[in-house]
Amino acid sequence: MNLVENIKMAIDSIMSNKMRSFLTMLGIIIGISSVISIVSLGVGGQNTITGEFEKIGVSTIRISVKTTEAETSDYITYKDIEQLKEKIDYIKYATPIKYQTGVASSEKKSKTAMVYGTNEDMIHIDNTEILYGRFFNRIEFEEGRAVAVIDETAARSFFGTSDAVGQTLNIGSSTSKKKATIVGVTKSQFEMFQNMADEEELPVVVYMPATFLDILYSKDSRISELYIMANSKENTEAAGILAKNMLMNRHGNRDRDVYKAENLMKQLDQINTVLGIFTAFIAAVAAISLLVGGVGVMNIMLVSVTERTREIGIRKAIGAKTSNIMFQFLTESVIISCIGGIIGLILGIAGAYLLGQLAGITPSVTPQIVIVSIAFSSAVGIFFGIYPARKAAKLDPIEALRYE
């Protein structure tokens, strides 16, 4: 008996017991769809994070002060940042990074605000997309003017429109706020979370001159963190080393390890490693249902062998070889698993895109995922179909013919 005949017989057997066959496939369907959804979303999430880091730039270095080891004189100053740009040719942009959690309020509404104090170079380093207006300039930074750039989500929340240029917000701590004029609106900083939460629940993101932030929160101009961008990817490491050395020379703390320089893309590698391990773990847990599905396939094939004992006896009596019988039942087992795998693949891809739309993540469904899922479901069919097929093939034809 050739392969085509075996496939036809297997399909006839499956179609004659549709509900039983479907329930047998259910474990395979659930397992494959779960693994496909989790892996696709995991890879898509990694791609999203990678894209966000690449927006910042592959040539960006973060230099931070080790606050547990630093003295007051070790902190970075605005003059330090000017000197870094002037003296080190490899550095194209440099900006202080100050952060405060505060409150932003209009005449009708008040919301939690994530306030970043930077300079005019931040727009180039962060590669933030300006939708309306502009980023604040050098003069506004030097004079500590009361200007701010907010994201689109905040603009819609406070003013009912994305174009909020010229509007004013009261920004600061819960006890002390000052009025700032909005000069620009950026693309939403929480775009990937907008489908998961109400915009009203998302915090306000505000960029302002670091000098104005000093006025809002304190007169202390110490800076514990700055970003620098090298003029090329090749000069990134050198720029970080030279910047760190200049800071040590200017502050006279070369004998102490006070400053830390980190390449942001190396942080991305660490994040991707963690995400990869987490995705693999969750996928492995989901794959346990495939074992349950495999047991179901074995169970139904054993039932099928019992039901068709007399048929097996007749076939062996008229000359069917043991290998023919075994191959027939193994083919049926593989087809059941493959059909379940294909249905699971379709449901998994659909589920991944549905969940991805809710989470703001574009799933990554690659040909490799499709091939592996089909191959894996086939392997399940073969592995769990071997025992029933061998049992059928080893039936004694005389005993089989007597079976009622």
Kindly report, residue by residue over 49-95, the tens digit of the pLDDT. 666 655 555 688 889 998 888 888 899 999 999 999 999 999 999 99
Residue 238 located in a structural domain: yes
Strand partners, 229: 60, 93
Residue 371 located in a structural domain: yes
> Domain of 31?
3-52+270-402
SS3 category, 322: helix
- Whether 327 contacts 385, CB under 8 Å: no
What's residue 83's pLDDT?
A: 93
- Whether 297 contacts 384, CB under 8 Å: yes
Please report the DSSP string for 191-246 in residue order: GGGTTTS-GGGSPEEEEEEHHHHHHHH-S---BSEEEEEESSGGGHHHHHHHHHHH
Residue 39 located in a structural domain: yes
Which burial class, exposed, middle or buried, applies to 293 when counting CB atoms under 10 A from its CB (0-12, 13-18, 19+)? buried
Crossing angle of helices 322-359/18-56, nearest 10°? Answer: 40
In whole angstroms, give the CA distance from residue 45 to residue 364. 9
What's residue 196's pLDDT?
A: 46
What's residue 21's pLDDT?
A: 77
Residues 73 and 168 in one domain: no
Q: DSSP assignment, residue 223?
A: B
- Whether 49 contacts 275, CB under 8 Å: yes
What's residue 206's pLDDT?
A: 92
Residues 86 and 106 in one domain: no
Residue 264 located in a structural domain: no
Among residues 236, 257, 278, the one where a domain terminates is 257
- Whether 373 contacts 32, CB under 8 Å: yes
Residues 178 and 75 in one domain: no
What's residue 402's pLDDT?
A: 57
Residues 370 and 285 in one domain: yes
Residues 280 and 384 in one domain: yes
Strand partners, 179: 170
What's residue 58's pLDDT?
A: 63
Please report the DSSP string for 285-311 in residue order: HHHHHHHHHHHHHHHHHHHHHHHTHHH
Residues 311 and 352 in one domain: yes
Residue 200 located in a structural domain: yes
Residues 195 and 240 in one domain: no
SS3 category, 116: strand
- Whether 365 contacts 351, CB under 8 Å: no
In whole angstroms, give the CA distance from residue 255 to residue 137. 37
In whole angstroms, give the CA distance from residue 107 to residue 146. 18
* Selection from 231, 238, 228, 237 nearest residue 80 by Cα: 228
Residue 116 located in a structural domain: yes
In whole angstroms, give the CA distance from residue 299 to residue 86. 76
Residue 110 located in a structural domain: yes
**215-224: pLDDT as tens digits:** 888 766 679 9
SS3 category, 120: coil
Q: DSSP assignment, residue 94?
A: E
Residues in the chain, total = 404
What's residue 186's pLDDT?
A: 92
What's residue 190's pLDDT?
A: 61
* Selection from 250, 224, 403 nearest residue 314 by Cα: 403
Q: Which residue has the tokens 């819609």?
A: 156
Q: DSSP assignment, residue 308?
A: T
Beta strands 168-172 and 177-186 are antiparallel
Residues 47 and 187 in one domain: no
SS3 category, 168: strand
* Selection from 82, 308, 109, 306 nearest residue 211 by Cα: 82
Residue 158 located in a structural domain: yes
- Whether 288 contacts 100, CB under 8 Å: no
Residues 341 and 370 in one domain: yes
Tally the domains of the chain. 3
Q: For every one of its 404 residues, what pLDDT tens digit does the chain have, with 9 covering 90 and above?
A: 566 776 777 677 777 777 877 877 787 788 788 888 888 887 787 777 666 655 555 688 889 998 888 888 899 999 999 999 999 999 999 999 998 888 898 888 888 888 999 999 998 888 778 999 999 999 999 999 999 999 998 898 898 899 999 999 999 887 778 999 999 999 886 655 554 445 566 778 899 999 999 988 876 667 999 999 888 878 888 999 999 999 999 998 888 889 988 886 666 666 667 777 777 776 676 667 667 777 777 777 777 777 666 766 777 677 767 777 777 777 777 888 888 888 888 888 888 888 888 777 778 777 777 787 777 777 777 777 777 767 766 666 656 555 55
Residues 336 and 382 in one domain: yes
Residues 204 and 281 in one domain: no
Residues 373 and 299 in one domain: yes
Structure tokens that stand for 69 in this block: 């080891």
In whole angstroms, give the CA distance from residue 199 to residue 162. 13
In whole angstroms, give the CA distance from residue 51 to residue 152. 20
